[in-house]
Amino acid sequence: MKQLPHIEAVIPVYNEAESIPLLVSQLDRARAALASEATFSYLFINDGSSDGSTELLRTLHAQRRDIRVVELLHNFGHPAALACGLDYFRGDLALFMDADLQDSPAVLPQLFSEWKKGAKTVVVERGERPEKNGILFKAFYFLLRKTSKNLPPINFGTHSLLDKSVVERMRVHKERNRYFPGLIALSSSQIKAVPFARGARKHGESRVGFWGLSHLALTAFLSFSSAPIRLVSFLGSLCALGALLGASIIVSVKLFTNWAIPGWASTMSLLFFSSGIQLLCLGILGEYVARIYDEVKGRPLYWVGSALEPQKRVNDASVSFLYSQP
């Protein structure tokens, strides 16, 4: 009998105790629709949760044989948890999704049917973001797509179904400042998008938060677009041109007229303007330097505290390969 493809859902978790039970039951429902076509398991990356998620995941792991849990030593952040998910994934297809119920498991049959048709990378295309910073996200995606040559014109995040071959390529990317959708794009020949509305977070606030998202946005820009460093040169040239123009006006006024050059106010505003631009440029360079320093340190992206593999029992043929060590 032909072996069915194995889908492993890879889910980073940071303080999601309120969402996990519903998430697991939604996933169970979605997989039931594919029961005759694929086998299924869940890989939770517990990113140093402190709200009871750890205990909940341990209980689930003890009760079921299709659940694996990797517990990170402490909180390393969403991108690091995803990197750990890439490393620990075992199966033919990885279903990446968040634990906060914003990514619906209901879209799985559509994603799977695209994979059956031959797509190796299937992403969930987001519609309008329900978050309050929706307009900022829109501006971010617009600018990023306009200034990057590696990203397709699709608005997508981590929610995706990736063939093993794509995961294997993504594993090779060892950079510390990671933009997951960008890594998907770099590791895929073609991306199939399935539109699906993203829900609002069901419990609590975003765990990544506004500053975390801003940092991620900056990482995306700095690693997938050369626009920021070009902006520095552009602003520098603009200022130099402005200064040249200003100087020629001043010299002409001095040489050809007997007007007095007015102005403390204009001198000061020019001074503020040019020092503002200089500080902005320094800041942009600083962002690069900080990221270069991060890469040079070569620290591991995450440390695993413990990996809870499924308990082996007889009659578990469908998930038997999960028992072998990675």
Q: Which residues form the interface with ligand UDP (CB under 6 A)?
A: 12-14, 16, 47, 75, 77-78, 81, 98-100, 102, 201, 206-208
Q: Taking CB within 5 to 8 Å according to partner kind, which of Mg ion, ligand UDP, none is near residue 47?
A: ligand UDP
Least distance from C-beta 102 to Mg ion, angstroms? 4
Least distance from C-beta 98 to Mg ion, angstroms? 5
Residue closer to Mg ion (CB basis): 58 or 201: 201
Query: Tokens 């090779």 sit at which residue?
Result: 172
For residue 126, give both structure tokens. 């987001």
Q: Taking CB within 5 to 8 Å according to partner kind, which of ligand UDP, Mg ion, none is near residue 126?
A: none
Residue closer to ligand UDP (CB basis): 5 or 157: 157
By CB under 5 A, is residue 100 in contact with Mg ion? yes
Least distance from C-beta 248 to ligand UDP, angstroms? 51
List 13's β-bridge partners, or say none: 46
Residue closer to Mg ion (CB basis): 205 or 258: 205
d(CA 319, CA 297): 39
By CB under 5 A, is residue 102 in contact with Mg ion? yes
Least distance from C-beta 213 to ligand UDP, angstroms? 6
Residue closer to ligand UDP (CB basis): 65 or 196: 196
Q: Taking CB within 5 to 8 Å according to partner kind, which of Mg ion, ligand UDP, none is near residue 207?
A: ligand UDP
By CB under 5 A, is residue 39 in contact with Mg ion? no
d(CA 4, CA 150): 34
Least distance from C-beta 69 to ligand UDP, angstroms? 13
Least distance from C-beta 14 to ligand UDP, angstroms? 3
Taking the mean position of all CA atoms in its chain, how far away is CA 3? Answer: 32
Residue closer to ligand UDP (CB basis): 82 or 222: 82
| 14: three-class secondary structure by DSSP | coil
Residue closer to ligand UDP (CB basis): 206 or 275: 206
Q: Taking CB within 5 to 8 Å according to partner kind, which of Mg ion, ligand UDP, none is near residue 99?
A: ligand UDP
Q: Taking CB within 5 to 8 Å according to partner kind, which of Mg ion, ligand UDP, none is near residue 169?
A: none
195 φ/ψ angles, rounded to the nearest 5 degrees: -70, 135
By CB under 5 A, is residue 71 in contact with Mg ion? no
Please report the sign of the dihedral spanned by the C-alpha atoms of residue 148, residue 153, residue 154, residue 155. Answer: positive
DSSP one-letter string for 159-208: EEEEEHHHHHHHHH---SS--HHHHHHHT-S--EEEE------SSSS-SS
Helix extents (H) in 225-325: 227-256, 264-297
Binding region for Mg ion (CB under 5 A) out of 50-58, 65-73, 184-192, 194-202: 194-202
Q: What helix, strand, coil percent values describe the chain, rounded to 5? A: 50, 15, 35
Least distance from C-beta 305 to Mg ion, angstroms? 24
Residue closer to Mg ion (CB basis): 124 or 322: 124
Give counts: helices (H), strands (E), the chain. Answer: 10, 8
Residue from 121, 117, 182, 125 nearest 150 by CA: 182
Helix extents (H) in 40-192: 53-63, 78-88, 108-116, 134-147, 164-172, 180-186
Least distance from C-beta 78 to ligand UDP, angstroms? 4
Residue closer to Mg ion (CB basis): 102 or 188: 102
Q: How do beta strands 192-195 and 121-125 pair?
A: parallel
Name 14's Cβ contacts closer than 8 Å, sequence gap at least 6: 46, 47, 48, 49, 53, 75, 78, 81, 207
- Chain positions contacting Mg ion, by CB under 5 A: 100, 102, 201
